[in-house]
């Protein structure tokens, strides 16, 4: 169904911001564990925290997967969560090889896989008929494209080596200690992890990841006209959309085949646009001798500068969504922006002591209001797309803002470190947030925390694998993507 060109307009209506939701304990996913498609990691020396005594006998059978699965089945039948948890902790301690650690990395998934559930079965049955995911975005979902372009400078120059990827055993090009929301989503749909589109020779049968860390919604020309420099990549949304079209055209013979392919796919359009604002802020923030806005007035002035970008950024995202929908996409998810005022890098940059600058959670009010403005415009755009393609497609808004971790302690995070980066500058040099733009995670003199799973923020900009996993649960299983694009109880033949 074709639709007329969409044009966004602003009406001065008060924004109704949803209050933070309090979460129940997360349940186990009925899904497969992460696929074992990743190539073996490079051989690296691993320093164990506790070496065995010199007279200790070597372990001859430290891990037996079949025996572990049988034991886990019995525990699942008992439905004793405490026993299951204790058993998985023991297993995790015994896993010594890369393959063993990978199987043990996601115990909730392993348990659910053994217990059963909807997922891919012999390559024929898929969750809700979704056979592929196509993702466009930035560092929140890039699984290795910037690494292949060459992340040689800027804030992301250390992301291609450890400690990035430390939780999964090696650096993969993801801006985290491990996996991202897009990885958890693929797992929950019973699909392989998405390969980056720049990975020549990779298997793209079940989707492609076009996202590039550092990417913007507006292209470099449009941003340059506003005096905004893009330091990392020119792979903006229009470039990724071109890659998407080229892939579809090269793997099909005619337009109707593209429509059929997309009718069984999920398209993730973002998160994108956050870097447009990041780079706009950087143009006005003084960098000599530090990384600080200095005072609330300067912060508000910077926000005002970025506000002018909002209509253009949102229009750009809406136009990209329209093109994908016109090609035949039937399920498109468009995520909103994170609450910038809760991000350690921004909090460190402002670094003011005036309590009036912060809300009850300890986040910066002005920056969160800016993120809320972007999200309000984006929700309006999604609503217009939904009306234009009524009956032909599900166009969903993903509320990343509401998926932040208000109940951090209840979810197993250290509430004293909600705003502190796991990896970065420690001690007094790192300040309250463990972040210094001149010494990003991976730089000489920085270190990663011992347990990333207790932290929300990985490097002061991006989140930990654990935080992304919780967000994936909240978004796709707790109703923070609306309307729901996936029925996880529905298995369908492809």
* Catalytic-role residue among 29, 30, 374, 462: 462
What three-state secondary structure class fits 457? strand
Distance separating alpha carbons of residues 136 and 327, to the nearest angstrom = 15
The label of the residue with tokens 């993507």 reads: 481
Q: To which H or E segment does residue 186 belong?
A: helix 181-188
CA 407 from chain centre, in angstroms, equals 19
Cβ count near 181 (within 10 Å): 29
Active-site residue, 253 included: no
Active-site residue, 482 included: no
Q: 3-state SS of 240-286?
A: HHHHHHHHHHHCCCCHHHHHHHHHCEEEEECCCCHHHHHHHHHHHCC
What three-state secondary structure class fits 114? helix
Q: To which H or E segment does residue 86 belong?
A: helix 81-94
* Catalytic-role residue among 109, 128, 139, 401: 139
What three-state secondary structure class fits 72? helix
Distance separating alpha carbons of residues 160 and 164, to the nearest angstrom = 7
Distance separating alpha carbons of residues 335 and 485, to the nearest angstrom = 13
Half-sphere exposure (Cβ direction) of 52: Cα atoms closer than 13 Å: 6
Sheet order of strands, 132-136 included = 207-209, 132-136, 265-269, 331-335, 394-398, 481-482
Active-site residue, 139 included: yes
The label of the residue with tokens 């929908």 reads: 325
R_g (Cα) of the chain, nearest Å: 23
Q: To which H or E segment does residue 331 belong?
A: strand 331-335
- CA dihedral sign of residues 419, 424, 430, 436: negative
Distance separating alpha carbons of residues 29 and 27, to the nearest angstrom = 6
* Catalytic-role residue among 138, 276, 436, 459: 459
Q: DSSP letters of 200-248?
A: TT---TTEEE---TT--SS-HHHHHTTT----S----HHHHHHHHHHHH
Distance separating alpha carbons of residues 251 and 270, to the nearest angstrom = 23
Helix axes 465-477, 181-188, angle to 10 degrees: 50
Active site residues: 139, 459, 462
């Amino acid at each position: 169904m074709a639709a007329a060109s969409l044009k966004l307009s602003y009406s001065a209506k008060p924004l109704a911001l949803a209050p933070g939701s309090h979460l129940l304990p997360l349940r186990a996913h009925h899904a497969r564990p992460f696929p074992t498609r990743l190539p073996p990691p490079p051989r690296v020396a691993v320093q164990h925290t506790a070496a065995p005594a010199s007279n200790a006998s070597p372990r001859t059978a430290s891990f037996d997967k079949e025996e572990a699965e049988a034991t886990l089945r019995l525990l699942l039948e008992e439905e004793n969560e405490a026993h299951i948890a204790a058993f998985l902790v023991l297993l995790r301690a015994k896993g010594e090889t890369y393959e063993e650690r990978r199987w043990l990395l996601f115990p909730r998934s392993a348990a659910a896989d053994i217990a059963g559930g909807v997922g891919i079965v012999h390559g024929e049955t898929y969750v809700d008929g979704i056979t592929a995911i196509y993702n466009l975005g930035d560092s929140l979902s890039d699984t290795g494209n910037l690494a292949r372009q060459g992340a040689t400078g800027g804030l992301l120059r250390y992301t291609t080596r450890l400690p990035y990827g430390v939780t999964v055993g090696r650096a993969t090009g993801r801006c985290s200690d491990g996996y991202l929301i897009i990885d958890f989503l693929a797992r929950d749909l019973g699909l392989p992890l998405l390969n980056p589109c720049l990975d020549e020779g990779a298997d793209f049968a079940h989707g492609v990841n076009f996202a590039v860390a550092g990417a913007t919604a507006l292209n470099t020309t449009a941003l340059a006209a506003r005096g905004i420099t893009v330091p990392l990549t020119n792979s903006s949304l229009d470039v990724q959309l071109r890659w998407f079209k080229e892939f579809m055209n090269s793997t099909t013979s005619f337009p109707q085949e593209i429509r059929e392919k997309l009718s069984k796919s999920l398209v993730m359009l973002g998160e994108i646009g956050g870097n447009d604002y990041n780079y706009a802020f950087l143009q006005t923030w003084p960098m000599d001798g530090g990384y600080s806005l200095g005072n609330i007035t300067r912060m508000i002035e910077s926000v005002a500068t970025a506000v002018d970008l909002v209509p253009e950024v949102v229009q750009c995202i809406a136009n990209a969504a329209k093109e994908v929908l016109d090609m035949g996409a039937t399920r498109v998810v468009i995520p909103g922006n994170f609450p910038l005022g809760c991000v350690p890098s921004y909090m460190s940059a402002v670094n003011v002591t005036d309590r009036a600058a912060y809300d009850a959670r300890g986040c910066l009010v002005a920056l969160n209001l800016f993120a809320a403005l972007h999200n309000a415009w984006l929700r309006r755009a999604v609503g217009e797309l939904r009306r234009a393609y009524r009956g032909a497609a599900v166009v969903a808004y993903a509320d990343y803002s509401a998926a932040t971790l208000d109940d951090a302690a209840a979810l197993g995070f250290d509430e004293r470190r909600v705003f502190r980066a796991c990896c970065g500058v420690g001690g007094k040099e790192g300040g309250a947030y463990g972040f210094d733009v001149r010494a990003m995670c991976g730089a000489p003199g920085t270190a990663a925390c011992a347990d990333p799973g207790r932290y929300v923020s990985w490097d002061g900009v991006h989140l930990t694998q654990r935080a992304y996993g919780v967000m994936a649960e909240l978004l796709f299983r707790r109703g923070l993507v609306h309307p729901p694009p996936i029925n996880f109880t529905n298995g369908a033949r492809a």
